[in-house]
Amino acid sequence: MLKWWQETVFYEIYMPSFKDGNGDGIGDFKGLREKMPYLAELGIGGIWLTPFYPSPKVDNGYDVSDYCAVDPDYGTMADLEAFVAEAHAYGIRVIADMVVNHVSTEHAWFMESRSSKANAKRDWFVWQDAPNNWESFFGGSAWEWDAGTQQYYYHSFAKEQVDLNWRNEEVRSEIWKVFDFWLAKGLDGFRLDVINNLTLTRNFPDNPVDASGEQVHVFDKDQPGMTEMMAEIGARIRARGDYFTVGEISSDKLEEIEKYAGMDGLDVTFNFNFGSVPSRDEIVAELARMQRVYVDGRMPTLFFGSHDMSRSWNRLADGREDVAQLLAMLMLTAHGVPFIYFGEELGMADFVPESLDEMRDVQGVYAYEQALMAGKSEVEALMLAQDKTRDKARAPMTWPEGFSDGAASWISQVTPDFERARRMYRFYQALIALRKTADFCEPGYRYFEADGEFLMYIRGDYLVCLNFGEARTISNAWGNVTEVLANMALVFDSETIVLPANAAVIFKI
Ligand code: GLC
Ligand code: CA
């Protein structure tokens, strides 16, 4: 028996950018509700909402200042509940982003902790008299001096995002309450933010530095005890009911990523070596690795975009519709749990900020400031920041009627191509409909072949051919095949199938 999430196509919604319902230029629950019919027609079965909790938004909500409330920018608790109820009425489940590695420095827990060394919550965070060499994942030192209590606190991301001390039992039991709170609200599970970062080492050895001078994050993530912690989180949520957990794992080792997923951990984990590769040459080889590693009913995740990386339209498809459709066919027919990033189904392109004024993402702004500090010119700093900024993928959804009927959107929009959007949408819709058939829900592959940049597999009664490489002709071992869906006109007969570069086709065999 498959679990619901094993048959679900998920859709990531970046809260401020999906749809503005009250005219202030920021996406919200009201706007989301208006767009439920759109999502239902697309055919997705699950929504991942990025953080919607009260937050000073230094990192756009990944700096939570209250775990059990809704940020007024997005609406009220009642709006959230109405949205969840409506999604459920459409047969769509909703999972929430849980950012439990760190809180905003404005969270009451931290305000108490920093009030004095003797405070009961002092140990809820990581305090040290002297910093080691650990760097924040956004750049710069991971330690911030607190003048009031004359110690440094640890932050693996921005200095306004302070890491919780997961060794502290009270911290853990508070977080379990947060999980319970949201499950009781009717949510169907969680996406767990940077979950292998929960800092568990306390002797603070310096991290090594590689030949190019870059710090290697050895001692500040994946520390001993992480596997047990992940198992405990998974078990707690599973014990509550039929919920789903997906972990964001900042690791490039497939064995690490895979080991956290399954019945003894979270349900699934993200593999960034597949989803966020800088070019498409590596995709086939990585899928082949995943096919070997994920056995015994374990499932990988499949995605090519998120709010943290350049859109796949630019990064992987080079702005080509056939390649974008090739990627979509892989993501929606392979073995795994797919996550579409909002707008991908419309072939949305990156937004590139042309000045510091247009930049919203803390990672881009940090890169800019650090470049200036290192003596770079403003132009050089801007170029470095354009490379680092995650604003690229955060521009508002390009709805035909506009994103907001009031104020200008919180971040600039990209120029839409509505014709392309319609074609892409129909292609996604067809793929999702096909994926719902039993053939694509069964685990694993009936046949799997990866040859260089060419990929071919059989799931159920369907043969999928995906050509990421040069044109090739294959012999047709199945004879009387019927073309079901393709991204270009194809020539085939009962003997051979001709596959031009970038061809993607599904045959019924
Ligand atoms: C995750 C989020 C990212 C955020 C970071 C810190 O990587 O996806 O957007 O900046 O965690 O919370
Ligand atoms: Ca709004």
Q: Is 10 helix (H, G, I), strand (E, B) or coil?
A: strand
Note whether 102 and 153 are within 8 A (CB).
no
Nearest 5°: CA angle at 455, between 453 and 456?
160
CATH T-level fold of 8-105+168-351+393-441: TIM Barrel (3.20.20)
The amino acid that residue 235 corresponds to is A
Among 73, 79, 163, 193, the active-site one is: 193
CA 264 to centroid of ligand 2, rounded, Å? 40
* C-alpha to C-alpha distance for 389 and 259, rounded to whole angstroms: 31
- Return the ligand number nearest the Cα of 23: 2
Query: Is 444 buried (19+), middle (13-18) or exposed (0-12) by CB count in 10 A?
Result: middle
Pocket of ligand 1 (CB under 6 A): 59, 62, 99, 157, 193-194, 248, 307-308
Helix, strand, coil abundance in the chain, percent, nearest 5: 35, 20, 50
Q: Residue ranges per domain, the chain?
A: 8-105+168-351+393-441, 109-154, 354-388, 447-508
Q: pLDDT digit of tens for each residue in the chain (509 aa)? A: 899 999 999 999 999 999 999 999 999 999 999 999 999 999 999 999 999 999 999 999 999 999 999 999 999 999 999 999 999 999 999 999 999 999 999 999 999 999 999 999 999 999 999 999 999 999 899 999 999 999 999 999 999 999 999 999 999 999 999 999 999 999 999 999 999 998 767 789 999 999 999 999 999 988 888 889 999 999 999 999 999 999 999 887 888 888 888 878 999 999 998 999 999 999 999 999 999 999 887 899 999 999 999 999 999 999 999 999 999 999 999 999 999 999 999 999 999 999 999 999 999 999 999 999 999 999 999 999 999 999 999 999 999 999 999 999 999 999 999 999 999 999 999 999 999 998 898 889 999 999 999 999 999 999 999 999 999 999 999 999 999 999 999 999 999 999 999 999 999 99
pLDDT at 441: 87
CA 50 to centroid of ligand 1, rounded, Å? 10
- Angle at which helix 362-373 crosses helix 378-388, to 10 degrees, equals 150
pLDDT at 199: 72
Domain 109-154 is in which class?
Answer: alpha beta
Query: Is 293 buried (19+), middle (13-18) or exposed (0-12) by CB count in 10 A?
Result: middle
pLDDT at 443: 87
* C-alpha to C-alpha distance for 465 and 504, rounded to whole angstroms: 6
In this structure, the residue with its CA closest to atom 9 of ligand 1 is 308
Note whether 392 and 351 are within 8 A (CB).
yes
Architecture of the CATH domain 447-508: Sandwich (2.60)
Note whether 469 and 452 are within 8 A (CB).
yes
Residue 248 is a catalytic residue = yes
The answer to whether the Cα torsion of 104, 110, 115, 117 is positive or negative is: negative
Write the DSSP symbol of residue 124: G
Nearest-CA neighbor of 482 among 454, 504, 462, 458?
A: 462
pLDDT at 258: 86
Helix residue ranges, H only, 185-293 = 226-240, 254-259, 272-275, 283-293
Write the DSSP symbol of residue 477: S
Nearest-CA neighbor of 122 among 78, 159, 171, 62?
A: 171
CA 59 to centroid of ligand 1, rounded, Å? 8
Residues whose beta carbons lie less than 5 angstroms from ion ligand 2: 20, 22, 24, 26, 28
In this structure, the residue with its CA closest to atom 2 of ligand 1 is 193
